[in-house]
DNA sequence: GACCTGCTGCGGTATG
């Protein structure tokens, strides 16, 4: 291959795997040679002793990633004469039939396609995977703590039980906060030891944080329309700065909201044309059609400069060629995400990664609540940069029992076997599989509930089989994924797919729309085909998508508070950002943030907790449960129409209460989040909510800290 | 005040 030498992680992985020392996690940055580290020894082992069975599988989270790895592995395997196959939704049925007829070598596959094998080709599985020796899982950090991850672990467990010997698992991961958690995830309760090989990836960073203050429109009484004040901090100013800094080179600008990225792409291209410059801004996200996305990817790899505004779609390792610098609109939701995004720039030897933040704050009104003066977005961005430089990164939380995914796996095993006893079902999925925390009683209750809803039925001799409704669910092609997706309409122009929009926010016929960075007018709507036909137009309105809240780690909030009580101004802030930080510090000191966590605001009490989203969500429900009107504001909570003493008592009482959290559930607005939650009995639905959305122990610890800090102040 | 991911079998028609 023209390589001069192997990298250290490759040398270590080769001896680990060739010595047969068992399961392994390999952690290194993107393009750190992880794939070769895993596959060089795997290929050696297979070449020694080829069998008429798939001997190694590679599981990847994306079709595009599988396609990339497929070409790389084909090159590596050519001389060893080992076949490489891929299996995902875009692979032809004939290629799939061919593999099933004569299984060999290495198979690259998605979790959903493994699921489809169990449902549609169960009679061939023992032959195809009877001599499976290696299971390689790529990007395991993207699976940890998600439904898709639990789904995958269940499938691997079922797959491995078909093989005569237990295959070795090799996980490939980006660096996460606690690598042991990745080893534990891969091991999934089995008694094996999991080795860890980590690559070091120190790089120089060039970071600047641009701050903007958007003035509120000033309304003069009697003048009717408000008119804007100083134009310095609005979206146009931000776009102007992006245009000046990024034009003429190839860059990525990450954002958190698809609608906002569409808006900025349109604005940036208008600015380009207005300045007699080619419109070279592209957009890339999950609601754009495959053709639109591939066109953007193609442009990025070409020599022509272009800047692509994107979401996490371009965060994982898809090849987009050389990227000069990375922009970030608003702070992202995790440091891990920031590291991955930054890692996409300056991929040449010795070149620093370049990162530009664009953070817009809005000027508070005279009667705004006090935390509006703290410029929380800016604080969050700075906190994340500080944590990144310190080398800290989140560890994905893997805690929940995932009843929704268990429902899917029960239906899948029933489809695979045609019928099975309840005890054996329990053994396959719970005792040996990833649902170990589900008790026998809960499992029985779940089966009962699925029986009541006609998903399954019990025959007279005791075996469970699919019910009529269960049969319908399993036979629909929507069954294979463990995660839910909202209902969408396809947006089509001239017979070509542009993208999709959620049914919830469809523009009306005759109205305008920006999508794929272009302007459209809605011509017609077909509810049966879920189709919106559009034509090119001059009018424009940014699209709206369905969204929720991002969970933020406690450490980020903690660092935000730290920044408020320090004096030092980081060197990577521009002038406005530095001024805004000073303003938030003086507001914080005026509030008395050093002395207390409790603040009066009108009739309300504000408690600033500076902790995780999950803890705040829990404390919000604790308040509601005790009859308070409580609102979660991200960095803390508001207790409406209240006084500090009552809040203190509430928190104090909560620290002494020994509760499981189940009493909080009835005060939550929504309980069902996951795909098969609608089939759960109420008790399990409540348990799932407590385990995945709340943090009972954390909330109690924070409540105790808040109360103790107050006691100390009163005493002294 | 959020983002992302995945998917089968079929019947029809065109091509070799």
Res A343 pLDDT > 70: yes
Q: Please report the pLDDT score of residue A278 as a whole number.
A: 95
Provide the domain limits for residue A98: 1-201+422-486
* Measured CA A479 to C1' B6 distance, in angstroms: 10
The answer to whether position A576 is within a domain reads: no
Which of A's residues 107-126 have CB atoms within 7 A of nucleic strand B? 110, 112-113, 116, 120-121
Measured between alpha carbons, how far is residue A548 from residues A563, A624, A670 in Å?
27, 21, 12
Residues A212 and A188 in one domain: no
The answer to whether position A310 is within a domain reads: yes
CA angle A694, A551, A606 (to 5 degrees): 75
Task: Output the domain CATH number for residue A517.
Answer: 2.30.30
φ, ψ dihedrals at A491, nearest 5°: -105, 120
Average pLDDT over all residues of chain A:
91
Question: Is strand B within 7 Å of residue A266 (CB)?
Answer: no
Q: Please report the pLDDT score of residue A79 as a whole number.
A: 85
Question: Is strand B within 7 Å of residue A297 (CB)?
Answer: no
Residues A237 and A359 in one domain: yes
pLDDT tens profile A567-624: 999 999 999 999 999 999 999 999 999 889 999 998 999 999 999 999 999 999 999 9
Residues A227 and A371 in one domain: yes
Q: Please report the pLDDT score of residue A538 as a whole number.
A: 93
Residues A209 and A147 in one domain: no
Q: What is the mean pLDDT of residues A344-360?
A: 84
Residues A342 and A196 in one domain: no
- Which of A521, A536, A551 is where one domain is finished? A536
Neighbours of A208 (CB within 10 A): 16
Q: Please report the pLDDT score of residue A103 as a whole number.
A: 94
Residues A17 and A87 in one domain: yes
* Measured CA A447 to C1' B11 distance, in angstroms: 37
Residues A377 and A238 in one domain: yes
Residue A167 DSSP label:
P
Q: Please report the pLDDT score of residue A220 as a whole number.
A: 53
Q: Assign A347 a pLDDT band (cuts: 50, 70, 90).
A: low
pLDDT tens profile A66-113: 988 999 999 999 988 999 999 999 899 999 999 999 999 999 999 999
What are the residues whose beta carbons fall under 8 Å from the beta carbon of A442, sequence distance 6 or more? A684, A687
- Strand B nucleotides, any atom under 7 Å to a protein CB: 1-10
Measured between alpha carbons, how far is residue A525 from residues A349, A511, A522, A543, A716 in Å?
52, 12, 8, 16, 69
pLDDT tens profile A647-672: 999 999 999 888 889 999 999 988 98
Residues A32 and A178 in one domain: yes
The answer to whether position A142 is within a domain reads: yes
Task: Output the domain CATH number for residue A478.
Answer: 3.40.50.300
Residues A197 and A346 in one domain: no
Neighbours of A288 (CB within 10 A): 25
Q: What is the mean pLDDT of residues A459-485?
A: 93
In angstroms, rounded to a whole number, what is the distance separating the alpha carbons of residues A512 and A536?
10
Q: Please report the pLDDT score of residue A352 as a whole number.
A: 87
Q: Please report the pLDDT score of residue A228 as a whole number.
A: 43
Residue A218 DSSP label:
B
Lookup: tokens for A517:
């960075």
* Measured CA A479 to C1' B16 distance, in angstroms: 37
Residues A642 and A528 in one domain: no
The answer to whether position A476 is within a domain reads: yes
The answer to whether position A219 is within a domain reads: yes
Domain count, chain A: 4
Nearest residue to A58 (alpha-carbon basis) of A125, A126, A113, A117: A113
Residues A109 and A184 in one domain: yes
Question: Is strand B within 7 Å of residue A546 (CB)?
Answer: yes
Which of A's residues 351-390 have CB atoms within 7 A of nucleic strand B? none
Residues A443 and A377 in one domain: no
Res A221 pLDDT > 60: no
Q: Please report the pLDDT score of residue A29 as a whole number.
A: 80
What is the percent of chain A with per-residue pLDDT over 70, rounded to a whole number?
A: 96
Lookup: tokens for A94:
């004939």
In angstroms, rounded to a whole number, what is the distance separating the alpha carbons of residues A301 and A323?
9
The answer to whether position A681 is within a domain reads: yes
Res A548 pLDDT > 80: no
Give the residues across from A171 on adjacent strands. A25, A137
The answer to whether position A374 is within a domain reads: yes
- Which of A390, A414, A443 is where one domain is finished? A390
Q: What is the mean pLDDT of residues A253-277?
A: 95
The answer to whether position A11 is within a domain reads: yes
What are the residues whose beta carbons fall under 8 Å from the beta carbon of A628, sequence distance 6 or more? A639, A640, A642, A646, A647, A650
Q: Please report the pLDDT score of residue A641 as a whole number.
A: 94
């Amino acid at each position: 291959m023209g390589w001069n030498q192997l990298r250290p992680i490759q040398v270590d992985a080769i001896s680990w795997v060739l010595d047969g020392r068992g399961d392994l996690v390999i952690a290194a940055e993107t393009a750190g040679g992880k794939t070769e580290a895993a596959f060089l020894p795997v290929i050696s082992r297979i070449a020694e002793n080829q069998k008429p069975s798939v001997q190694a599988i590679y599981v990847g989270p994306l079709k595009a990633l599988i396609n990339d790895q497929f070409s790389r592995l084909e090159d590596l395997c050519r001389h060893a004469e080992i076949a490489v196959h891929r299996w995902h939704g875009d692979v032809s049925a004939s290629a799939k039939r061919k593999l099933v007829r004569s299984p060999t070598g290495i198979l690259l596959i998605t979790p959903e396609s493994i699921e489809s094998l169990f449902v549609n080709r169960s009679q061939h599985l023992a032959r195809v995977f009877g001599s499976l020796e290696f299971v390689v899982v790529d990007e395991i950090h993207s699976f940890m703590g998600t439904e898709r991850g639990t789904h995958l672990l269940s499938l691997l467990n079922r797959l491995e039980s078909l093989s005569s010997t237990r295959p070795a698992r090799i996980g490939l991961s980006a660096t996460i906060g606690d690598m042991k958690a990745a080893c534990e995830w891969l091991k999934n309760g089995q008694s094996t030891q999991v080795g860890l090989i980590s690559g070091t990836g120190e790089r120089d960073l060039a970071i600047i944080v641009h701050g903007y203050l958007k003035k509120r429109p000033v309304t003069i009484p009697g003048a009717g329309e408000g008119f804007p004040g100083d134009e310095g901090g609005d979206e146009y100013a931000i776009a102007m700065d992006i245009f000046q800094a990024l034009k003429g080179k190839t860059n990525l600008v990450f954002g958190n909201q698809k609608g906002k990225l569409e808006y900025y792409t349109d604005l940036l291209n208008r600015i380009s044309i207005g300045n007699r410059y080619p419109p070279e801004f592209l957009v890339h996200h999950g609601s754009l059609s495959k053709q639109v996305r591939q066109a953007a990817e193609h442009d990025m790899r070409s020599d022509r400069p272009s800047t692509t505004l994107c979401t996490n779609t371009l965060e994982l390792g898809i090849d987009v060629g050389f990227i000069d610098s990375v922009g970030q609109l608003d702070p992202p939701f995790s440091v891990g995400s920031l590291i991955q995004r930054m890692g996409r720039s300056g991929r040449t030897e010795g070149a620093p990664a370049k990162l530009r933040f664009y953070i817009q704050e809005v000027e508070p009104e005279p009667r705004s609540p006090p935390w509006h003066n703290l410029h929380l977005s800016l604080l969050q961005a700075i906190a994340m940069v500080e944590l990144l430089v310190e080398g800290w990164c989140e560890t994905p939380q893997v805690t929940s029992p995932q009843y929704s995914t268990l429902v899917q796996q029960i239906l899948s095993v029933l489809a695979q076997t045609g019928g099975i006893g309840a005890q054996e079902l329990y053994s396959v999925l719970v005792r040996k599989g990833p649902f170990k925390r589900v008790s026998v009683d809960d499992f029985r209750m779940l089966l009962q509930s699925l029986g009541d809803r006609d998903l399954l039925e019990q025959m007279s001799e005791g075996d469970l089989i699919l019910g009529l409704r269960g049969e319908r669910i399993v036979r629909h092609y929507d069954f294979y994924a463990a995660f839910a997706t909202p209902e969408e309409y396809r947006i089509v122009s001239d017979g070509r797919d542009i993208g999709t929009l959620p049914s919830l926010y469809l523009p009306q016929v005759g109205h305008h729309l920006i999508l794929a960075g272009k302007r459209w007018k809605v011509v017609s709507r077909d509810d049966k085909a879920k189709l919106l036909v559009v034509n090119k137009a001059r009018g424009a309105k940014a699209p709206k998508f369905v969204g929720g809240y991002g969970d933020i780690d406690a450490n980020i909030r903690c660092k935000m508070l730290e920044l408020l009580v320090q004096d030092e101004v980081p060197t990577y802030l521009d002038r406005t950002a530095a001024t805004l930080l000073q303003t938030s510090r003086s507001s914080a000191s005026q509030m008395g943030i050093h002395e207390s966590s409790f603040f009066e605001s009108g009739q309300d009490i504000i408690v600033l907790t500076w902790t995780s989203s999950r803890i705040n969500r829990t404390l919000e429900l604790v308040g509601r449960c005790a009859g308070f009107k409580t609102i979660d504001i991200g960095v803390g909570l508001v207790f409406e129409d209240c006084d500090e003493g009552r809040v203190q008592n509430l928190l104090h009482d909560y620290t002494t209460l020994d509760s499981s959290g189940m009493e909080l559930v009835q005060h939550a607005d929504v309980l069902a989040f996951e795909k098969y939650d609608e089939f759960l009995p109420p008790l399990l639905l409540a348990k799932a909510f407590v385990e995945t959305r709340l943090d009972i122990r954390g909330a109690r610890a924070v409540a105790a800290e808040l109360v103790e800090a107050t006691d100390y102040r009163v005493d002294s």
